[in-house]
């Protein structure tokens, strides 16, 4: 039996003009945070921005995505790799999971090598709170390089 997972993606408003290429490629190839769907068919049911700090679109976007059948909402990798990283990531995740019957995953495409190098140099992701945030999109070195 082929399972189908319906996915919504919320991106950082800093990247509102993003065409979604890396996220959609990763979803198609099951890279980064989408590697959890290796055995499932996936369908994109929503793609939008948070509407800028402090996330004015999170409530509406979550509701609309769930109405469209979303089983999972991904908070895009851009929320993690942008500088500074989104200070509301955990707030968005907690709110969406409590408000709607939906699972929330932080990340979409693998963290590109250039972002990993910069954030490592800056020490951005040091500390225990960052480990679970970056883990789903860390990938191996070759995969990260393909997303530069």
Widest CA span in the chain? 46
Report whether pLDDT(4) > 80.
Answer: yes
Structural domain boundaries enclosing 64? 3-146
Residue 13 maps to which CATH number? 3.40.50
Residues in contact with 13: Cβ distance below 8 Å, sequence separation at least 6, in sequence order: 49, 50, 51, 52, 53
Beta-strand pair 103-106/40-49: unpaired
Number of structural domains in the chain: 1
What is the mean predicted confidence (pLDDT) over 67-80? 97
Q: What is the per-residue pLDDT for 2?
A: 57
Report whether pLDDT(127) > 80.
Answer: yes
Closest by Cα among 1, 3, 5, 2 to 105: 5
């Amino acid at each position: 039996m082929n399972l189908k997972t319906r996915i919504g993606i919320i991106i950082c408003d800093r990247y509102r003009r993003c065409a979604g290429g890396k996220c959609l490629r990763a979803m198609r190839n099951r890279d980064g945070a989408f590697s959890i769907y290796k055995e499932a068919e996936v369908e994109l049911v929503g793609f939008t921005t948070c509407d800028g700090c402090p996330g004015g679109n999170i409530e509406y976007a979550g509701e609309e995505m769930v109405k469209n059948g979303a089983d999972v909402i991904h908070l895009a990798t851009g929320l993690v790799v942008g500088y500074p990283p989104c200070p509301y990531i955990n707030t968005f995740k907690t709110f969406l999971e409590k408000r709607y019957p939906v699972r929330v995953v932080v990340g979409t495409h693998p963290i590109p090598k250039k972002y990993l190098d910069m954030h490592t140099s800056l020490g951005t992701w040091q500390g225990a709170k960052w480990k679970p945030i970056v883990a789903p999109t860390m990938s191996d070195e070759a995969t990260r390089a393909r997303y530069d």
